[in-house]
Amino acid sequence: MTVPATTTSTSSITSAPSRKLTGREMYNAIGQPKTIVAPMVDQSELAWRILSRKYGADLCYTPMFHARLFVTSDKYRKSMFNDQDGNPKYDRPLIVQFCANDPEMLLQAAKLVENQCDAVDLNLGCPQGIAKKGKYGSFLMEDWDLIHKLIRKLHDNLSISVTAKIRVYDDYEKSLQYAKLVLDAGAQFITVHGRTREMKGQNTGLASWKILRYLRDKLPQDQVFFSNGNILYPNDLQRCQEETSCDAVMSAEGNLYNPGVFWTKTDDIDMQFPRVDKILRQYFEIVKSVDPHPASRHSMKSHFFKLMHEFLNVRSELRPMIGKTSVHSSFDEWEKIVEEVERIVGKEIASMENFEKLDIVVDGELQVWGGHYKTVPYWRCQPFFRKVDGERQNTRLLKVAGESNLMVTSNEAKEKLLKRELEVDGDEEGNARKKVAV
C-alpha cells in the first residue's frame, strides 16, 4: 500500500511511555496541535484523515465507534478500524473515540486500540435520536455518576490518556461543574462543543464562544482545552482561539465540506478553498491507496456529495451519477465521476475568458459576530448552510447557546432587532441580555 505523504507533522507517541503523561505533557508530546478533525459518525475515517492532514489538520479523531459492537462483533470492528489506522507514517497523532454506557465494555474496546493511537476519547456530545435510544453521547448528561465511572475506568487501566468531548447546558455554572466532573474523573484533554444537546438539525443555531471562554477561564490554567463550533473559514480559527483562549480548535461540519478550512500557513486560495475537481481527485487517489479499508470505501459517496455540495446545486446532472453508486461500485465507476468533474471545471469553467476575475473569494460586510460571510465560486469547496423553513441559516436570526435571544446575522437584521429593543425599552423582558457569541 502506498499512502500519499502529508504536509503536516505526524509526531506522536508510537509506544507506551514508562509513565503515563499528564494532559499538558501529552499535548506537548503530540506536537501541540492547533487544528483538529472532529470525531464524526462514518465521516472521519482513514482516507479523510489523510486528506485533512494535507490541508492543515494537526490532530485527527476517528469516527465514533460503538464500544459494545467494537468488542462483540469482529465484522463491525474490522470494517471500522484495522492495522492501517494509527500508522505512525501517515495517521498520527490520532485519538480513537467511543460511545458507551458500560465501563467494563468501554475498557475492553479501548484495550483493542490502545497500541494504535495516542489517546481514547469518550463521546459525551452526540445529540441524535439513536444516542437517546442507546443511552450514550449527550444523553448521559443526566447521569454524572456513570460519566465519572466511564472515564475513571479508562484512566485507571489504560497506558495512554483518556479524553472527553462534551456539550454545554444553557446554564453557565452547570456547564462548569459538568466540565470539572469530567476532569476529576481523569480526562486529560477536554473538548467543549459550545452548543446544547437540543441544538441540532434545523435547531442547530450558533455555538457560544462566550460559554467556552467562561469555562476556559474557570478551569485550571494548565488544562488542555479544545473549542468546537462555528468554524466556517480559515480565518475563524484565529478568532476562535483568541476569543475562547483555547489550545486548539476542532471542526466537524466545516472540515467535511471544505478540508481547506484548516489551512492557515498561506493565503493560497487553492489550499483554503480547493477547486472541487482537484480535491476530488486527491481524495479519490487516497481512497485507492488505502484499499482495502472498508470504512474509507463506505464513506466515499457521502464525501463526494459534501465536497461538491455547492457545485452540484449548479451542475445537478452529476447527482444521478453519484447517487447510483454503492459500496460495491468499482473504482472504474468512481473514476468516471472524477473525470467528468475534471472535464467540467478544468476545461469548461477554467477556459472561460474572464475566469481569473471570477475565480476569487470576496468578503461580505463585517457581521456583528466579528467575521465575514464570503462569496466563494461554486466550483470551490465552501461552507454548508442548512435551511430553516426554506431560508439559509446565514441570512436569518439564530439562537445562540446559553442566550435567551437570537443571533444577529446581517445589518438589516440588526436594525430590526434594535428597533424591537427600543419598542420594549423599560420592559424587564425586553431588556434581557442581547449578546452575540460565535
**Structure-block grid coordinates of residue 303:** 464525501
Residue with cell 423553513: 389
What span, in angstroms and rounded, lies between the C-alpha atoms of 402 and 340?
A: 46
Instruction: Provide mean pLDDT across the span 158-178.
Output: 97
Per DSSP (E only), the strands in 304-410 are: 362-366, 372-375, 387-388, 391-392, 398-399, 406-407
37, containing H or E segment? strand 35-37
Measured between alpha carbons, how far apart are the two ends of the chain, in Å?
Answer: 42
pLDDT for 416 beyond 70: no
Of the chain, the percentage scoring pLDDT greater than 70 comes to 83
Of the chain, the percentage scoring pLDDT greater than 90 comes to 76
Mean pLDDT for all residues in the chain: 87
Confidence tier at 399 by pLDDT (50, 70, 90): low
Q: Where is pLDDT greater, at 205 or 267?
A: 267
pLDDT for 400 beyond 90: no
Q: What is the model's pLDDT at position 198?
A: 85
Lowest-confidence range among 35-39, 127-131, 238-242, 342-346? Answer: 127-131
- SS3 for 81? coil
Q: What is the model's pLDDT at position 270?
A: 98
- Whether residue 44 contacts residue 85, with contact meaning beta carbons closer than 8 Å, is answered with no
- SS3 for 219? coil
Confidence tier at 435 by pLDDT (50, 70, 90): very low
| pLDDT tens readout for residues 268-321 | 999 999 999 999 999 999 999 999 999 999 999 999 999 999 999 999 999 999
Q: What is the model's pLDDT at position 397?
A: 52
Instruction: Provide mean pLDDT across the span 339-367.
Output: 95
Q: What is the model's pLDDT at position 245?
A: 98
Instruction: Provide mean pLDDT across the span 194-208.
Output: 80
pLDDT for 405 beyond 70: no
Lowest-confidence range among 21-25, 84-88, 178-182, 388-392? Answer: 388-392
By CB atoms closer than 10 A (0-12, 13-18, 19+), residue 11 is middle
Q: Where is pLDDT greater, at 396 or 143?
A: 143
Q: What is the model's pLDDT at position 199?
A: 77
Q: Where is pLDDT greater, at 194 or 434?
A: 194
Return left, alpha or beta for 383; rule: phi > 0 is left, psi -120 to 50 is alpha, else beta: beta
Confidence tier at 414 by pLDDT (50, 70, 90): very low
Instruction: Provide mean pLDDT across the span 349-363.
Output: 96
pLDDT for 82 beyond 70: yes
| pLDDT tens readout for residues 175-192 | 999 999 999 999 999 999
Lowest-confidence range among 12-16, 124-128, 150-154? Answer: 12-16
Instruction: Provide mean pLDDT across the span 424-428.
Output: 35
Q: Where is pLDDT greater, at 39 or 397?
A: 39
For the annotated catalytic residues, the residue numbers are 126
Q: What is the model's pLDDT at position 407?
A: 46
Q: Where is pLDDT greater, at 400 or 20?
A: 20
What span, in angstroms and rounded, lies between the C-alpha atoms of 399 and 408?
A: 9
Q: What is the model's pLDDT at position 389?
A: 58
Q: Classify residue 345 by its DSSP letter.
A: I
| pLDDT tens readout for residues 202-256 | 667 788 999 999 999 999 999 999 999 999 999 999 999 999 999 999 999 999 9
